[in-house]
Structure 1
Amino acid sequence: MKNHFALLALLCLASPAFADEVKVAVAANFTAPMQKIAADFEKDTGHKAVVSTGATGAFYAQIRNGAPYEVFLSADDETPARLEAEGAAVKGSRFTYAIGKLVLWSAKPGFVDDKGEVLKKGEFNKLSLANPKTAPYGAAGIEVLRKLGVLDGVQAKIVQGENISQAFQFVSTGNAELGFVALSQVWQDGALKSGSAWIVPAGDYTQIRQDAVLLNNGVGKPAADALLKYLKTDKARAVIKSYGYAF
């Protein structure tokens, strides 16, 4: 009921007189759900979300160097907290919009078993993951390899993407037989879209809490406030959940 009233309040601002746009920096793993949410957001409120996607670490550097983003949807909770502490984001505006899940995926059906034993067998040439220095999902992949005791053995086979989207592209195009990607990239409406996968147990890596935060450029911007509220509505959360995220 609370979310229902929140959505009604947003709808009241949907007239052209209140229409605004918000510049949003979005972690690459959240690209697909954000595209859907942005379309719904514009339809329901009249506001437009201008979305840029990329690696969380890269966005941090851009924001600190004056990039004009007004809202940041990070792939972790540490970066938004850091921006708050450094005075680049509004204190108290931060919240977790999704909890991400890591998956080992191959575009080839049957290539990845449901326990990840393929990593121990090592019968592959390339393993893709996002740069662990800038992308939380890449860091999570390294954690899993280390926990399984195979990091040293596969180190020479690792190919790094600048972000999780590029890591996914390496696998989807066949440049790597398998890779660690976000579940949201290969999962929709409760099912794997293609290929084969091992959904990594949550206890095998540090929980990926993805936080949103209002940046200083968004202060006083109706669309920025509206988007942050919209992410908490039942409608937006249903989209987020359909891509395999938790809360």
Structure 2
Amino acid sequence: MKKIIIGSLVCVASLYAGSINIAVAANVSYAIDTLKEEFKKSNPNTEVRVTLGSSGKLTAQIKHGAPYQLFMSANMKYPEALYADKIAVTKPVIYAQGSLAYLSNKKQNFNSGINIVKNPNIEKIAVANPKTAPYGKAAVEAMKNGGVYKDVKYKLVYAESISQTVSYAVTATDIGFVAKSSLYSPKMKHFKEGINWTDVDAKLYTPINQGIVVLKEGKKNQEVLAFYDFILSQKAKEILRKFGYLVP
């Protein structure tokens, strides 16, 4: 009986050998597959398991013991909090800087800038939840700094994450504040710059510095450390640039 039990444990262990679990902010969902493919070229035996979500919700899961080994956040606030609590074992480092864009499935005139959201034909505006999604917080900040927030806050439709915001923007609302990176997905090619989308004035919101940390679960895992190093490498930066990010 003991031999059977030991054999079973070995089989279970082998199922998880060579896999790493990472938590990734929803805005990176459009680039993560390409990043994984590039990483696989030099690490063919490592399976990268990704959980996507808003940075706030992922952080809450991590604090409650979720077995993630690495965290790619949509801002620096959450990884800095995890580092302060000694849940993260590396000091947060910026791996990319994200930016906001307006997106609509209808033809829009973007010449009025942030004031477009005040147009009578804009009845619903998709925004990620500013309490848990850094891109949502940036969108609200942009509207406040642009002097339109009080006039349009009743129009806001909140999504759980920035990826859900993209879905809302093209199905359930007239326009949305989305991560510019989402517009570089092959699925989004039919949306045209200047017609369906354009950049939100970067002066209206605080730069979205996105941070990466290794968590306690991944401290001694060489494959986790290899993926961490890869995300900060020139190859990864080239990929992130192609998805609309600025990189340090």
Shorter-chain TM band: 0.7 to 0.9
Shift of 1:58: 0.1
Aligned match of 1:167 in 160, 165, 168?
A: 165
- Structure 1 CA distance, aligned partners of 2:109 and 2:128? 20
Query: Which amino acid is the alignment partner of residue 180 of structure 1?
Result: F
Residue deviations 1:137-167, cap 9 Å, x none? 0001101111121111111111000011111
What are the residue-to-residue correspondences of 1:226-241 with 2, within 5 Å?
226-241=226-241
Which residue in the other structure is 2:54 paired with?
A: 55
Contact 1:60–1:79 (Cα < 8 Å) also in 2: yes
Which amino acid counterpart does residue 149 of structure 1 have in structure 2? Answer: G
**1:108 deviation in Å?**
1.8
Could you state the TM-score of these two structures normalised by the residue count of structure 2? Answer: 0.86
Instruction: Give yes or no for the alignment of 1:37 onto 2:31.
Output: no
2:152 corresponding residue in structure 1: 154
* CA shift digits 1:61-116 (9 cap, x unpaired): 00000000000000001110110000111043x21110000111112233544734
Greater mean deviation of Cα atoms: 63-72 or 34-43: 34-43
Return 101-110 or 162-171, whichever deviates more.
101-110
Aligned CA distance change for structure 1 residues 114 and 21 (closer, same or farther; 3 Å):
farther
Name the CA distance, whole Å, in 2 between partners of 1:36 and 1:82: 29
* Distance in 1 separating the partners of 2:60 and 2:225: 23
> What's the C-alpha RMSD, in Å, of the aligned pairs?
1.9
Unmatched 5+ stretches in structure 1:
1-18
Q: Which amino acid aligns with 1:212?
A: I
* Residue matched to 1:7: none
- Residue pair 1:125, 1:177 contacting (<8 A) in 2 also: yes
Q: 1:36 to 1:86 in 2, by over 3 A?
A: same
TM-score scaled to structure 1, two decimals? 0.86
Amino acid at match of 2:69: E
Name the CA distance, whole Å, in 2 between partners of 1:152 and 1:20.
51
In 2, Cα distance between equivalents of 1:76 and 1:36: 21
2:245 equivalent to 1:245: yes
1:183 aligns with 2:180: yes
Amino acid at match of 1:49: V
What's the % identity of the aligned pairs?
33
Unpaired runs of 5+ residues, structure 2, are 1-16
Cα displacement (A) at 1:44: 2.2
Q: Alpha carbons of 1:127 and 1:193: their partners in 2 closer, same or farther (altered >3 Å)?
A: same
Instruction: State how far apart, in whole Å, the 2-side matches of 1:146 and 1:161 are.
Output: 19
Q: Which moved more, 1:108-117 or 1:124-133?
A: 108-117
- 1:64 is the counterpart of 2:63: yes
Q: Deviation of residue 124 (structure 1)?
A: 1.2
